[in-house]
Chains A and B, each alone.
Chain A
Amino acid sequence: MTLRAVGLRILMSVAVAGLLCLLTLPLMALVVRLSPAAVWHRLGQPGALAALRLSLVTSAAATLAVVLLGLPVAYLLATRDFPGKRLVQAIVELPIVLPPTVAGVGLLLAFGRTGLAGGALHAVGITLPFTTLAVIVAQSFVATPFFISAGLAGLASVEPRYLEVAATLRAGPAYRFFRVMLPLALPSILAGAAMSWARALGEFGATITFAGSLAGRTETMPLAVYDALETDIDSAVALSIVLLVLSFGVLVCLRYAPWAAGIGGSRRAQRPGR
């Protein structure tokens, strides 16, 4: 091998090793700090359980909200052209680039008691800040773009010919959507939902700013870790490990599940054999 090729190899190896170290060392540092028994013990404490329960409930609710509200938007963006479409797409993607704390401030100024929509909400009897509902709203806000971009890609990749032939087979628009488009886009939609859930689970900045931090009501796991960090680091580590396992689990499922073999797999529509 030439000297240059060798040099290139070395450079590549260093880069790969460096990045993997950067990413895995913090995770390993977390995991080796506590034994599984210690983790279990810490989790058994009421504060930790409350945070875990709250996190699971709110992230599930947020994911559900994101999917139900996001599916129609993804459908519109995937199938229709309308004036202002690019603007809508940008708006929908905004939460990804917005620092979560900024999102939290925005939510506060919009839906707080004295916020833009605050008066209207108050009239209907809803006050958002400091409530569990606020946590769900904050999580939904940040998780939306994850679902919509995956859902949009999935729906857009469904080949029009399947929908056309379905139309000729007595299928109206709703039937086509639920029986042809959705099933074919399902891997992407599920992946989008999973990523949304993971993002909602890990949401911190917007939550702490908009919803505050109160055990059992708004102190989700990430907030609990933050709150425990300075006083009881082992509790923080235990909760971190749980979050780590959950998130990692989501990613692994996404990569290895059989139906996820082609995210956007319907693009490889099956041609009848030649």
Chain B
Amino acid sequence: MVVANTLIARDIMSINIRGGASVKRWVWRTQFLFAVVITGCTSRPGLVVFAAASLTDAFNELGDSLRRRDPDLRIQFNFAGSPTLAFQIEQGAMADVFASADERWMSAVQDSGYLAGTPTTFVTNRLVVIVPRSNPGQIERLEDLARHGTRIVLAADRVPAGRYARQVLLNLSQRSGFESNFAQRVLADVVSNESNVRSVATKVQLGEADAGIVYVSDVTPAIAARVRRIDIPDADNVIAHYPLALLRRARHPDAGRSFIGLVLSPEGQRVLTRNGFLPRE
């Protein structure tokens, strides 16, 4: 019953109403409304987890696992870009748990006073470059990314994955063998700044982009069949620390703590690792 919130929210956002400003109205109102609807109106015990898009597959698995233990428990996930989730929480969305893809957005929520406790890092992630299996841009090595005219898709820089990707590019510019303006040249070829990292993966697997930078965990089996990976050396890669926290407005704090416990447990960690994440250090 978990809904691909992001896609649906996007749909709602683009509901066909005459007049452009209407879309704006709907952008935050309806995502908010949607969050409210799925969280606020249920009378049965329902845990609501807001999680970064990259956690989609892993958390869905964990949700199933939790439900097996407690069949009465309802869990709803809201997967979206971390900034979007933070925004919704600040606007009053009723959620129990927040799992962000970076510390920046967790801090933003913490500074606004919406956390119940302190955040815990529960998993880390790293970035990887992917290209379509047919490799239309003929990218074999990282250096090829700087080739002029390559269609590169990144997450927007407000999104953790986008910020990390740009950091990685800067790091690579320092490496010998790469030109010092490597990052600028790559960024000049960016054709789209997507609002969440999964969209980047989509564009690459459809063959529309020549290359994209995503998390290693985003290369799910389904996507792996359609793309090729180009690894980033550990020294230049970014370690993304994913924090997890219980929210102050949690309606089901116990269920929330159970979920957090599960995530941090060996079983949870196994699930996360299986989905491409790296253990928290």
* Interface residues, chain A, with chain B CB atoms under 8 Å away: 26-27, 30, 55, 96, 99-102, 108-109, 112-114, 129-130, 142, 146, 195, 198-199, 201-206, 208, 211-215, 217-219, 221-222, 225-227, 229-231, 236, 239-241, 243-248, 250-251
Contact = CB atoms under 8 A, between A and B. Distances in A.
A130 B192 contact: yes
Contacts of A230: 81, 83-84, 86-87, 158
A48 to B, nearest CB: 14
A230 B155 CA distance: 14
Contacts, number: 141
6 contacts: A101-B10, A198-B19, A202-B17, A213-B194, A217-B191, A246-B21
Contacts of B13: 204-205, 226
B22 A202 contact: yes
Given A26-B29, A230-B84, A244-B24, A202 B192 contact: no
Nearest to A102: B11
B156 A213 contact: yes
Given A198-B19, A213-B193, A129 B11 contact: no
Dominant secondary structure of chain B at its interface with chain A: mixed
B275 to A, nearest CB: 25
Which of A195, A203, A222, A246 has the most C-beta atoms of chain B within 10 angstroms of its own C-beta? A222
Interface residues of B, number: 40
A108 B24 contact: no
A236 B158 CA distance: 14
B209 to A, nearest CB: 8
Dominant secondary structure of chain A at its interface with chain B: helix
B40 interface: no
Contact of B192 (A27, A214, A226): A214
B13 to A, nearest CB: 6
A99 B11 contact: yes
Nearest to A217: B191
B27 A229 contact: yes
A146 B23 CA distance: 17
Interface in B151-193: 151, 153, 156, 158, 190-193
B233 interface: no
Given A26-B29, A100-B16, A206-B14, A248 B21 contact: yes
A114 B192 contact: no
Contacts of B24: 30, 222, 225, 236, 239-240, 243-244
Interface string B80-95: 0101101100000000
Given A195-B18, A227-B158, 11 more contacts: A101-B14, A130-B191, A202-B17, A204-B23, A205-B13, A205-B14, A226-B13, A236-B24, A247-B22, A250-B19, A251-B19
B84 A214 contact: no
Contacts of B225: none
B193 to A, nearest CB: 5
A87 B203 CA distance: 33
Contacts of A250: 19
Contacts of B87: 229-230
Given A198-B20, A212-B192, A205 B10 contact: yes
B87 to A, nearest CB: 5
B108 to A, nearest CB: 10
Which of B10, B14, B195 has the most C-beta atoms of chain A within 10 angstroms of its own C-beta? B14
